[in-house]
Chains A and B, each alone.
Chain A
C-alpha cells in the first residue's frame, strides 16, 4: 500500500558547497534550541545546541544562528560532504517543560556529487 507522510522540504547542495537549513520555532519561552541529524534508518543524532541568550554558536563545520525577533533558527554546514546527507531536525526545549523536546518537521539534505 502507499505510505502517507509529511512531505519533507528538501535542500540539494553540491558537494563542497555550504548548506543552510532553516527552521521556524514556535515558543518564545524556549530556553534551548537544538539541531539533530537523522540518517536513513537510524535514530536522531545531536549536532549542536544554542541557548536563547545567544545569537550564534559554532561547532565543528557547523554554525547555528538564532534570531529571536522572527523566531528563526538556522544551521549552516560548511563544505558539505556526502556523509552530511540526512534529515535535519530543529528542536526546542522550554521553561514550561522540564524534559520534553518539541521537534520541527525536518529538512532533507541531499548532496550532489
Chain B
C-alpha cells in the first residue's frame, strides 16, 4: 500500500541552526501538507501546498518556515533558525483531489525535532 515517507525520523539540533525535514508524498497525490504536534498536545496545521505554491498557511508558519517541492517526488519543510519552541513532531501529509475536500489525508510517521 502506498505511503507517505518522512526523513529523518529524529533530528536533534542546536538553537539557531537550520533544519530541513523531508517528505515523499504518495505519488498520485496533488495536495501536500505539514502539520506539527508538540508532545501530548493537539495536531496543528502549518501549511498546505498545491500546484507548486502555498495554498494556505497558519500563524505558526512565519518567515522562519518555508516549503519546497524541489523535484517531482520530494516535499520539504525548512526552519531557518530553530527555536526551543520548535521542538515537536512534524507530520507530512498528502491527499488526492477527490479525498482532499473531505479532509481525508494520508500522514507519514513523522519527524521528531528536538531543539537544544
Q: Which residues of A contact B (CB under 8 A)?
A: 3-8, 32, 34, 41-46, 49, 51, 89, 91-93, 97-106
Contacts and interface: CB of A to CB of B under 8 A. Distances in A.
Contact of B43 (A3, A42, A89): A89
Contacts, number: 74
A101 B50 CA distance: 16
Chief secondary structure at chain A's binding surface:
loop
A46 B31 contact: no
Contact of A44 (B41, B45, B91, B100): B91
Interface of B: 4, 31, 33, 38-45, 48, 50, 55-56, 58, 91, 93, 100-110
16 contacts: A5-B38, A5-B40, A6-B41, A43-B91, A49-B104, A91-B43, A92-B103, A97-B56, A98-B48, A100-B45, A100-B48, A101-B43, A102-B45, A103-B42, A103-B43, A103-B45
Given A5-B38, A6-B40, A49 B107 contact: no
A8 B40 contact: yes
A46 B58 CA distance: 22
Nearest to B43: A103
A46 B104 contact: yes
A45 B105 CA distance: 8
Given A46-B106, A92-B103, A100-B48, 12 more contacts: A3-B40, A5-B41, A34-B103, A44-B43, A93-B103, A97-B56, A98-B48, A99-B56, A99-B100, A100-B56, A102-B45, A103-B42
B56 A98 contact: yes
A49 B42 contact: no
